[in-house]
Amino acid sequence: MGTAELESMSLDSKDREDGGCASAAATLPDLALLLVLEYVAAYNLDDVVSAGQVCRHWRRVASSSELWRHRSLRSHGLATQAFTRVVTFAPRLRAMDVCWINQISPEDRAVRKAALLRSHCKLTCLTGVMCHRDSTWTHRLLALHGAHLKKLEVSTVDRQALQALGVMPRLRVLQVSGWDAELYEEPVVVFPPVREGGIGPGCLDALEVQGLPRATTISMLKASRRTLRRLNLGVGTTGAHEKTHGNWPRTCNDLSQVLADCCLEGLQELILYRFAGCYHTTSECIQQRSSLEQQFRFCLVTCSDCSPYTF
C-alpha cells in the first residue's frame, strides 16, 4: 500500500472521528453541553473538545429559551472567557448575580463589566448589586435593564440608583438597603403614588427595605399599598432613650400607626428585621408586635431575632 493511500485512509479516519465527536455533542442535552462548554472555556482543554466544536454547538445552547429561563448566571465560578461568552452570545439569559464581580482582579473585572454593558440579554432578575463599589457602572447597568427587571436586589443604594427604582415598570420583588448619609439629606427621595390601574414600583408583591429615610420608606409603601403581600422591614423598637423620629429606622415608637397610614390592604406577612443596629429588646418587641397584630389581623407578624426560624 502506497504512502498516498495511507494518508488518505488516515484523513478518512480523522473525519469519521471528528464527525463522531460532533454527533455525540449534538445529542447532549443543552444543559449538559453548556456545562461542557463552561469547563472547556475555564481550562482551555482544546485537546478534548476543539474550539470548532464549541463554536459549532454554542449557538444552539445560546438560543435555548427553556435552558436560560431557569438558570441564573453568577459573576464568579466561571473563567472570564466563559463569562463573556455567555453574556455576549446568550440573548435569552434572564437572571444574573453580580455580587462578586468587584472581588476579582482589576483586569478581569473590566472585561466582565464591559461585556455586561454590551450584552443584548434582557435581564428580569438582577441580584448582588452594590452601588458603593462602582456607582457609574451600577447606574449604567440599572438603566440598561430597568425596563425588564421583575426582581432586583441592590445594597448600599445611592440617590441616583434609588431614583431609578421609580421608573422600573415591571418590578415586582425588591430588596433595597441604604445607610448612606447622603440619602438623609433634604430633599429626600420620595416615590409618587401610582394611578389606579398603573404599573411600576407601585405594584410590588414583596419588599425588603433597610436603612432608607422615613419619608422614603413610607412613600415606597404607600405606592404599593394595593399589591404588597410580603414586607421585610429593617426597624427597631422604641429604645430606652429615643422618643422621637430622629433615629429612624434604628428606633421607632409608632410603627403600627406608620403602617396603618400606608393603607397596606393585602399585607399577608410582616417581618421585622432587627439587624444593622436596629434597637431591640424582648419586652418592647412583644409590645410592638402585639400592636401590629391588632392592626393587621390577617397578617403574620414575626421578628428576625425573636422568631429566627420563621425568618
Tens digit of each residue's pLDDT (9 = 90 or more) over 79-130: 787 788 778 877 788 899 998 887 788 888 999 999 999 998 899 999 999 9
Q: How many CB atoms lie within 10 A of CB 52?
A: 12
**Res. 18 pLDDT band, cuts 50 70 90:** very low
The pLDDT, as a whole number, for residue 134 is 92
User: How far apart (Å, rounded) are the C-alpha atoms in residues 223 and 225?
Assistant: 6
Which cell numbers in the block locate residue 9? 485512509
Distances (CA, A) of 290 to 11, 74, 183, 225, 271: 81, 41, 31, 22, 13
What is the rounded distance in angstroms from the CA atom of residue 280 to the CA atom of residue 272? 10
141 within 8 A of 116, measured Cβ to Cβ: yes
Burial classification of residue 29, based on how many CB atoms lie within 10 Å of its CB (0-12 exposed, 13-18 middle, 19 or more buried): exposed
User: Crossing angle for the helix pair 80-89 and 106-118, nearest 10 degrees?
Assistant: 10
The per-residue pLDDT for range 288-306, each reduced to its tens digit, is 999 999 999 899 999 998 8
Q: Which residues pair with 206 in a beta bridge?
A: 173, 230
Sheet arrangement for strand 230-234: 72-74, 95-97, 125-130, 151-155, 173-177, 206-210, 230-234, 269-273, 300-303
pLDDT of the residue at 266: 92
- Give me the residues paired with residue 173 across strands: 151, 206
Rounded Cα–Cα distance for residues 288 and 265 (Å): 20
Query: Cell triple for residue 140?
Result: 449604567
In the chain, what is the straight-line distance between the N-terminal and C-terminal CA atoms, in Å?
A: 78
pLDDT at 83: 80
Structural contact between residues 101 and 75, judged by C-beta atoms closer than 8 angstroms: yes
Strand pairing partners for 213? none
What pLDDT sits at residue 310?
47
Per-residue pLDDT at 55: 61
> So what's the pLDDT on residue 140?
97
pLDDT at residue 44, rounded to an integer: 45
How crowded is the C-beta side of 297, counted as CA atoms within 13 Å?
Answer: 0
Grid cell at residue 302: 414575626
Given a contact cutoff of 8 angstroms between Cβ atoms, the answer to whether 200 and 171 are in contact is yes
Tell which residue, 146, 137, 193, has the closest CA to residue 174.
146
What's the pLDDT score for residue 74? 72
Is residue 92 within 8 Å of 121, Cβ to Cβ? Answer: yes
The mean pLDDT of the chain is 80
What per-residue confidence (pLDDT) applies to 240?
52
At 259-290, the pLDDT tens digits run 999 999 899 999 999 987 888 888 999 999 99
